[in-house]
Chains A and B, each alone.
Chain A
Amino acid sequence: MIEVKDLRKDFGGLHVLQGITERIAQGEKVAVIGPSGSGKSTFLRCLNLLEVPTGGQIWFDGQEITAKGCDIDKVRQRMGMVFQHFNLFPHLTILENITLAPTHLKLQSADQAKEKARELLTRIGLIDKADTYPNMLSGGQKQRVAIVRALAMNPKVMLFDEPTSALDPEMVGEVLDLIREVAEEGMTMVIVTHEMGFAKEVANRVMFMDEGVIVEQNAPAELFGNPQNERLQGFLSKVL
């Protein structure tokens, strides 16, 4: 589904990604862990070209999205993204937040989009908030709305960039529950996270990144239970 070849990204003189070659298959749930500054968020943001790579190639669904002339807007319509800071649109109601892109891009009629948004809001128990504005929601509620906003586009893959890092501890659970549900429905997912327990439980593959490369990756039980790399061992001893 996603293929990455020798992906590099520099910020000025800083080499944040130093050549990543990777494949993510349909239906896989990949968790990316690592210390801050290791390049894991940059890696994720390169996958939908929010960061433009300095070098290397990326294919999505058989199409090279790093190629010149690739319509990245079209590609992004099939890649949902969830941000650390939710990034809901504060000037639009919850319902409008969800329906804006599908209706503007003419992927769904206004009525279809509204119906779908109501369905999604009912599912996450926030249908009574449909006509209110984002600033009336708690952090956990905002993030759940942000997740269904991405789901409303019927994406083929969901990218999560530290989806629970900006939340109060008591709200982490509700957001993880929703991500878990989406995972169980078979969605392909890439999750950058600090929640080791969650990564262990939901992911079928965990990547450990450090200094711009994937140092070690494995099934979660193996990676957490029997880490090989010294840096991974050090990292796990600090966070577990």
Chain B
Amino acid sequence: MTGLEKLWQDISGALLRENRWQLYLEGLRNTLVIAALACLIGIVIGLVVALIKYIASTKKSGPWKVAGAICTAYTTVIRGTPIIVQLLILYNLSYFTDGLYASIIGFGINSGAYVAEIFRSGLNSIDIGQREAGRSLGLGQWPTMRLIVLPQAIKNTLPALFNEFIALLKETSVAGYIAVRDLTKVADGIRGRTFNSVPLYLAAALYLIMVAGLAALQKRMEKRLARSDRS
């Protein structure tokens, strides 16, 4: 048997036999669903937490300070414990009978803590004069934030934000720990049948393609937002 024939046999064994390619698609779908929804949850949580922390830092006392302290506790705990432990805890709470839901929520809450820190540093990177200029024109606190500070902050945080999304996408590969049939779990399962590593190579290639897609999206967005930098 030539090397080429051997390669074809391995690939067809990993992909075609028993319609195994359908399993990859199922795994890919689960991975994408978890990553996309967790990303959305992460953005929402991150934005809210960052704004609360930001506003709390400008106040001296009162309910904002309490809210700020709660947010700090959240980011500290989430960033200070392993994602797998968080997922296992969540999965063992009885309301999550399906690992898929547990992992969407778990990765979302986890990502939120990181995104919050990214947004917070983005907000802090905007000169205080921007806020003062907005307020001095009679714009309220929220319109000033939404129209003036946030657009600039988000532009500044885009590279870090995409880093986080890429990390999140790859991190979903531990979802198998709570019985989710994600891409990694599925590929590892097929490996147990083919007795070679080809399924894992295929999984790696699929992750790489997804990450390349995210990186391309990042490039496009940065280019669009860089209009005001041209001189």
Contacts and interface: CB of A to CB of B under 8 A. Distances in A.
A101 interface: yes
Given A87-B133, A89-B130, A91-B152, A104 B139 contact: yes
Contacts of B135: 50, 73, 76
A50 B152 contact: no
A73 B138 contact: yes
Interface stretch (A58-66, A77-85, A188-196, A218-226): A77-85
B140 interface: yes
Interface residues on B, range: 20 to 34
Interface string B118-152: 00000000010110111111111001000110011
A91 B151 contact: yes
Contacts of A89: 130, 133-134, 148, 152
Contacts of B129: 83, 85, 87
B227 A83 contact: no
Nearest to B141: A73
Given A87-B130, A136-B231, A76 B138 contact: yes
Contacts of A157: none
Given A89-B130, A90-B152, A91-B155, A81 B136 contact: yes
Contact of A135 (B134, B140, B229): B229
A25 interface: no
A135 B231 contact: yes
A153 interface: yes
B230 interface: yes
Interface string B72-109: 00000000000000000000000000000000000000
A75 B137 CA distance: 10
B228 A90 contact: yes
A73 B130 contact: no
Nearest to B133: A87
A153 B137 contact: yes
B136 A104 contact: no
Contacts of B229: 133, 135
Interface residues on A, range: 20 to 34
Interface string A40-54: 000000001010000
B137 A149 contact: yes
A101 B138 CA distance: 7
A100 interface: yes
B227 A133 contact: yes
Interface string B203-231: 00000000000000000000000011111
A170 B184 CA distance: 65
B142 to A, nearest CB: 11
A105 B147 CA distance: 12
B155 A101 contact: no
A89 to B, nearest CB: 6
A188 B61 CA distance: 37
A16 to B, nearest CB: 17
A170 B227 CA distance: 29
Contact of B228 (A73, A77, A81, A91): A91
Nearest to B229: A135
B127 to A, nearest CB: 8
Contacts of A149: 137
Contact of B133 (A83, A91, A135, A136): A83
Contact of A74 (B137, B138, B143): B138
A150 interface: yes
Contact of A101 (B127, B137, B231): B137
Contacts of A87: 127, 129-130, 132-133
Interface of B: 127, 129-130, 132-140, 143, 147-148, 151-152, 155, 227-231
